Amino acid sequence: MESTKQEIDYEFLPRFRVYKDGHVERLMETDFVPAVSNDPITRVSSKDITLFQEPNNINISARLYLPKLTTTTTTTQKFPLLVYFHGGAFCISSPFTSKHHNYVNALVAEANVVAVSVNYRKAPEHPIPAAYEDSWAALKWVASHSSNNGGGGGPEPWLNHHADFERVFLAGDSAGANIAHNLAMAAGSGDSEFDNDDPRVNPVVAGGPSLVGLGCRRALVCVAENDVLKDRGWVYYNALSKCGWMGVAEIIETDGEDHVFHLHDLQSEKAKDLIGRLAAFFNRDMPPLP
């Protein structure tokens, strides 16, 4: 008689399969690329760290990236800080897959930023709001390194020595972009409670919180012409532009491409163009506070 381990309870194809004994088999984006101390092509260094351990012994981890240092006083060179959240429908992938590692590595090299790529818990074992809660906790851990937040002596020397906390960016692809939005809303409102209300997934739903409270000064929305979610990106951009938010919203639409196209072929001209435009966005002077 076949073991119940092989009996399928339900599937979410092509992403994962859940068996009746409770174990989950992920069917894509499960590869692991190790961090490198000095990438031979980009000269970006990366390392994996555990940010903290939850009371139930679940580790919240991240991959850190440091661009090539060009000064002799390496402890004082500061870069913009990027906190990045990977996509994957809240259920697959990680910062350690080849797709996401190679992309963030290339973006760090082009933009000259320090990056923290967060590994949050995923469904179905950990349904929403676990991804938001982990990402918010990771953002608070990052903020603990800022002298303006009573820190400056956090546990991670790369952030203490090289992160410019006057230039902090939240970014992500697909589900990760949704996480970035929700964290910016939480930062603007001071409310870190995440529940199962639809406005988390659809920021412009009727009755949802006003985008006026978005806790940042600039926002860049990136969509692709053939992406089924393109129209939602435009709706979000238009809502942000018209709601009375005091920041500056921009949008980029890439012709002839599909969902997260830049992750699948980093060497394509359109992917390189998008990375270049992101780099310019990160390094542009901040607008004055209203």
d(C-alpha 9, C-alpha 11), whole Å: 7
d(C-alpha 270, C-alpha 275), whole Å: 9
Amino acid at 273: D
User: What 8-state DSSP symbol labels residue 243?
Assistant: S
d(C-alpha 98, C-alpha 268), whole Å: 17
Give the number of other Cβ atoms within 10 Å of residue 53's Cβ: 11
Residue owning tokens 């409770």: 22
* Closest among 154, 185, 183 to 64, alpha carbons compared: 154
Structure tokens given for 18: 């859940």
Q: Coil, strand or helix: which one is 290?
A: coil
174 is catalytic: yes
199 neighbors 206 (Cβ within 8 angstroms): no
Q: Give CA separation, 28 vs 6, 13, 97, 227, in Å.
A: 19, 10, 10, 20
* Closest among 75, 81, 87, 130 to 108, alpha carbons compared: 81
Q: Coil, strand or helix: which one is 85?
A: strand
User: Which of these is catalytic: 98, 174, 189, 268?
Assistant: 174
Could you give the residue numbers annotated as active site?
174
